[in-house]
């Protein structure tokens, strides 16, 4: 590795460290109660170093939200091709994995929903719009799985795919909010099972469809 590559790697690592430190600070103290000095002090760097990577506090929360969005997309899509299931058993397993992955990534690290659903929404209209777009993107991913289920005949042919996807994702977020208040793996499992039962018993195809 050349000297230039090593320097770039160190710069990338420090940028990553600043984003992580800001994420922790925003989740713990809140966006509005966190200053650049707080983030810099956590890493033992000066203000000048911070400003070599980010314009201001508003700039860094953009990066924090983008990083959270990336983690959620990976959780929902990893090993879960929307058209990968070919049997009812595979489809049910896939839906369970997707739901569990989303709830887990949001519940296992409570900083994620705290920053995403609370702190980011208080910054300004632009950031609220970004979060809304991210939630719409999550719903679109869920809709792709529902569309595949309809195509295979596992779900109702007259299903309103767009809004059913939003309803399912809303239920998952409700699980996360509940878990933030009273973390309990057993309750989380019950919620997950209830959502899946709602899908299979509520929107599953019937012989008369």
How would DSSP label each residue in 60-107?
HHHHHHHHHHHHHHHHHHTT--TT---SHHHHHHHHHHHHHHHHHHHH
pLDDT for res 40? 92
pLDDT for res 175? 76
Number of Cβ atoms within 10 Å of the Cβ of 102: 23
pLDDT, averaged per 10 consecutive residues of the chain (209 residues), comes to 70 90 93 94 90 92 87 69 71 72 73 88 92 87 84 86 87 77 76 72 60
Q: Yes or no: say if 171 and 121 are a contact pair by the CB < 8 Å rule.
A: no
Q: How far apart are CA 60 and CA 29, in angstroms?
A: 15
Q: Yes or no: say if 100 and 192 are a contact pair by the CB < 8 Å rule.
A: yes
Does residue 183 sit within a domain?
Answer: yes
pLDDT for res 154? 81
Residues 113 and 86 both lie in one domain: yes
174 lies in which domain range?
57-202
pLDDT for res 170? 84
- For residues 75-92, one letter each, b for 16 or more C-beta atoms within 10 angstroms of the residue's C-beta and e for the rest, the string is bbeeebebeebeeeeebb
Q: Phi, psi (5° rounding) for residue 11?
A: -65, -45
pLDDT for res 11? 82
Specify which residues 155 forms β-bridges with.
204
Radius of gyration of the chain (CA): 20
Residues 15 and 111 both lie in one domain: no
Residues 94 and 182 both lie in one domain: yes
Residues 135 and 111 both lie in one domain: yes
Q: How far apart are CA 118 and CA 112, in angstroms?
A: 10
pLDDT for res 27? 92
Residues 44 and 109 both lie in one domain: no
CATH code (residue 127) = 1.10.357.10
Residues 43 and 75 both lie in one domain: no
Q: How many distinct structural domains can be found in the chain? A: 2
Q: How far apart are CA 94 and CA 194, in angstroms?
A: 16
pLDDT for res 209? 47
Does residue 207 sit within a domain?
Answer: no
- 3-class secondary structure, 155: strand
pTM of the entire predicted model? 0.75
- Residue 49 structure tokens: 């170093």
CATH code (residue 5) = 1.10.10.60
Q: Yes or no: say if 166 and 138 are a contact pair by the CB < 8 Å rule.
A: no
pLDDT for res 55? 92
């Amino acid at each position: 590795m050349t000297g230039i590559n090593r320097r770039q790697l160190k710069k990338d690592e420090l940028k990553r460290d600043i984003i992580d430190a800001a994420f922790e600070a925003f989740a713990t103290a809140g966006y509005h109660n966190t200053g650049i000095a707080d983030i810099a002090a956590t890493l033992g760097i000066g203000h000048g170093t911070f400003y070599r990577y980010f314009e201001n506090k508003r700039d860094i929360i953009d990066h924090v939200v983008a990083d959270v969005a990336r983690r959620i997309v990976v959780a929902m899509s990893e090993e879960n091709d929307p058209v990968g299931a070919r049997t009812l058993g595979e489809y049910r397993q896939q839906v369970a994995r997707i739901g569990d992955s989303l709830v887990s990534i949001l519940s296992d690290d409570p900083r994620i929903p705290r920053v995403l659903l609370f702190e980011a929404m208080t910054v300004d209209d632009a950031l609220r719009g970004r979060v809304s777009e991210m939630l719409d993107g999550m719903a679109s991913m869920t809709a792709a799985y529902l569309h595949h289920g309809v195509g295979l005949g596992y779900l109702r042919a007259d299903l309103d795919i767009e809004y059913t996807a939003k309803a399912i994702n809303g239920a998952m977020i409700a699980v996360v909010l509940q878990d933030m208040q009273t973390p309990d793996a057993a309750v989380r499992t019950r919620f997950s099972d209830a959502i899946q039962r709602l899908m299979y018993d509520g929107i599953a195809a019937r012989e008369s469809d």
